[in-house]
Amino acid sequence: MTHQFDYLVIGSGIAGMSFALKAAATGRVALICKTVMPEANTALAQGGVASVTNLEVDCFDKHIRDTMIAGDQLSSPDAVRKVVEGAPGQIRQLVDWGVDFDRRDDGTFDLHREGGHSEFRILHHADNTGFEIQESLIEQVRKCPAITVFENHFAIEIITQHHLGKIVTRRTPDITCYGAYILDCVAGRVDTFLARATIMATGGVGAVYTTTTNPLVATGDGIAMVYRAKGTVRDMEFIQFHPTALYHPGDRPSFLITEAMRGYGAVLRNINGEEFMQKYDPRLSLAPRDIVARAIDTEMKQSGSDHVYLDVTHKDADDTRRHFPNIYAKCLSLGIDITKDYIPVAPAAHYLCGGIAVDTNGESSIRHLYAVGECSCTGLHGGNRLASNSLIEAVVYADSASRHAAEAIRHIDYRTDVPEWDDKGTSHPEEMVLITQSTKEVNQIMSTYVGIVRSNLRLDRAWNRLDILYEETEQLFKCSKASRQICELRNIINVGYLIMRQAKERHESRGLHFSLDYPRN
């Protein structure tokens, strides 16, 4: 079956939905959702959205400086200025779409401060900001007649000249995207979606690791598809591990303990109850995430423990419950009263600072293909994302991409010679246990060898082991009917390879990439 739309948006988090809502004013939009719309990383973002709103104490230059410092001076100045200066306008757009940010009695925003920020500039909705944004945007999307939502649909490959029988390499000029082959997971059929503009908004890669705060749909699908289509992918070595995921063995994903809690005054303690951040950074528990995560990792290794503690017991109990109702309820369900007890925490894979390379319009190296949100690499984050910069980046770049694409599609026609997906001679794999076991092996390899602290030896071991899994999986894919399981395995292997290879190519410790072989000066 073939579908035609002006815009094909693959992914339904804040980036995909905000693009879709704006693009709907100029064309018909297909919004592809891997499972159901509420299951996106956006919904798990507790902390908030960073934007300069209190001009009495804050300004764009301060936010820019904080972002550059957190990014270890690897951030693109143009991208940083674009997001910081575009943030207030997009905050107004989110409010217009129904997002209810917390306010003080005088009507001004109730701002939080998080690690790496020099001022209070984090807008939030209690401690479930992402969920509030996701629900508000879903409501807007559902009532927009120009947007058709395809839930339980999985993008397998983007369509380029390669599918028209032409040879495409990374040196091929003007690789062009015409849409994507997409699996209808309910019908078990691969459909052809043709579009004048295709937008990747597939989120992050957390499910590549054993321990992650991401939903398990975060398998790097868009990044893997673009890489296989010979598009440019960069900065994959910069994986942000959130320092404080709730330590509760068996949970996957891990429950996030927002950084806003440290901004509120929570203190990190080791397994013996001793404060330790003074040994690592003068900013103590409010140091940037890469520093805090490595400090925790060091303390855990020195003591042989599998977690440390976050202590908020010295704060007013009623204030704590009011500011962090979801964290309080979650911990209480596990027998932890955070107003009286320390919270056991450990780092977990949280955010990808690299991804599909895009320009200031959100356009990738492949013509008519855009990328927004966590799957993209705009240059904003550099070597390390500043807390709460991701949600605002998503809407600022979705806005730019929608305006650029609206102009571009006026000069683009559909391809009429795209073949249907060819699965002749394939069958359903008889042993799904092979896929499940291979997925666990990838998780273990990445967590053991390509985690918070790396070395040349560890990366070489990851290379050798991933190479074996890659060959086995490609052979299985060639003879198998398309399924979400085999495609996700293929994608996490591709993404794991990219993280590992680009880590090997960076001969320094910088930002989130820390190597024992290249100590910092």
Phi first, then psi: give them for residue 236, nearest 5 degrees. -70, -15
Residues 6+ apart with CB under 8 A from 208: 219, 220, 349, 442, 443, 446, 492, 495, 496, 499
- 482 — pLDDT class (breaks 50, 70, 90): confident
Helices 456-478, 432-449: inter-axial angle, 10-degree rounding? 160
- Tell me, what's the pLDDT at 387? 86
Top pLDDT among 189 and 129 is at: 189
Between CA 126 and CA 110 the distance in angstroms is: 10
How many helices (H) and strands (E) in the chain? 13, 16
Domain boundary among 317, 332, 347: 347
Which tens digits make up the pLDDT trace of 108-124? 999 988 878 999 999 99
Between CA 267 and CA 275 the distance in angstroms is: 7
On whether residue 134 sits in a domain, the answer given is yes
Helices 77-96, 60-70: inter-axial angle, 10-degree rounding? 120
Is residue 426 pLDDT above 90, yes or no? Answer: no
- Tell me, what's the pLDDT at 383? 94
On whether residue 101 sits in a domain, the answer given is no
Between CA 258 and CA 243 the distance in angstroms is: 9
Chain position carrying tokens 């190597």: 515
Top pLDDT among 131 and 59 is at: 59
Is residue 182 pLDDT above 80, yes or no? Answer: yes
On whether residue 84 sits in a domain, the answer given is no
Between CA 381 and CA 231 the distance in angstroms is: 20
On whether residue 418 sits in a domain, the answer given is no
Q: Where are the beta strands (DSSP E) in 271-378?
A: 308-311, 343-352, 355-357, 369-371, 376-377
Q: Which of 141-155, 209-223, 283-297, 480-494 has the lowest mean pLDDT?
A: 283-297
- 479 — pLDDT class (breaks 50, 70, 90): confident
- Tell me, what's the pLDDT at 41? 60
One domain, residues 268 and 324: yes
- Tell me, what's the pLDDT at 435? 86
Instruction: Write the DSSP assignment of 447-468 as a string of letters.
Output: HHHSSSSB-HHHHHHHHHHHHH
Residues 6+ apart with CB under 8 A from 316: none
- 172 — pLDDT class (breaks 50, 70, 90): confident
Chain position carrying tokens 């994986």: 239
- Tell me, what's the pLDDT at 131? 84
One domain, residues 231 and 278: no
- Tell me, what's the pLDDT at 368? 97
- Tell me, what's the pLDDT at 431? 67
CATH code for the domain of 175: 3.50.50.60
Sequence letter at residue 176 = T
On whether residue 109 sits in a domain, the answer given is no
One domain, residues 149 and 227: yes
Is residue 82 pLDDT above 60, yes or no? Answer: yes
Confirm if 104 and 39 have CB atoms less than 8 A apart: no
Q: Report the number of distinct structural domains present in the chain.
A: 3
On whether residue 107 sits in a domain, the answer given is no
Chain position carrying tokens 């007013």: 316
One domain, residues 216 and 360: yes
One domain, residues 407 and 453: no
Is residue 36 pLDDT above 70, yes or no? Answer: yes
Between CA 245 and CA 310 the distance in angstroms is: 10
Q: Is 256 helix (H, G, I), strand (E, B) or coil?
A: strand
454 is known as an active-site residue:
no
CATH code for the domain of 499: 1.20.58.100
One domain, residues 252 and 330: yes
Is residue 440 pLDDT above 70, yes or no? Answer: yes
Which tens digits make up the pLDDT trace of 250-291? 888 899 898 889 989 999 999 999 999 999 999 998 887 788
Is residue 134 pLDDT above 60, yes or no? Answer: yes
On whether residue 387 sits in a domain, the answer given is yes
Q: Is 441 helix (H, G, I), strand (E, B) or coil?
A: helix
- Tell me, what's the pLDDT at 47? 67
- 60 — pLDDT class (breaks 50, 70, 90): very high
Where helices occur in 74-215 by DSSP H, the ranges are 77-96, 129-142
Confirm if 490 and 474 have CB atoms less than 8 A apart: yes
The rounded percent of the chain whose pLDDT value lies above 70 is 97
- Tell me, what's the pLDDT at 287? 84
- Tell me, what's the pLDDT at 42? 65
The mean pLDDT value for 35-64 works out to 84
Domain boundary among 332, 347, 362: 347
Sequence letter at residue 226 = V
One domain, residues 447 and 485: yes
Tabulate helix, strand, coil % of the chain (nearest 5).
Answer: 40, 20, 40
Sequence letter at residue 289 = R
Between CA 16 and CA 49 the distance in angstroms is: 17
Q: Which of 135-139, 267-271, 399-403 has the lowest mean pLDDT?
A: 135-139
The mean pLDDT value for 465-492 works out to 92
Catalytic residue among 196, 289, 490, 510: 289
Structure tokens at 322: 């009011």
Domain boundary among 331, 347, 363: 347
Q: Which residues pair with 219 in a beta bridge?
A: none
One domain, residues 326 and 273: yes
The mean pLDDT value for 301-329 works out to 94
One domain, residues 37 and 185: yes
- Tell me, what's the pLDDT at 427? 74
On whether residue 20 sits in a domain, the answer given is yes
The mean pLDDT value for 361-388 works out to 96
- 39 — pLDDT class (breaks 50, 70, 90): confident
Structure tokens at 60: 């764009």
One domain, residues 257 and 224: no
One domain, residues 199 and 317: no
One domain, residues 270 and 371: no
CA dist list (Å): 352 to 36, 223, 495: 22, 11, 11
- Tell me, what's the pLDDT at 432? 76
CATH code for the domain of 295: 3.90.700.10
Q: Residue 445 sits in which domain range?
A: 432-505
Confirm if 147 and 29 have CB atoms less than 8 A apart: yes
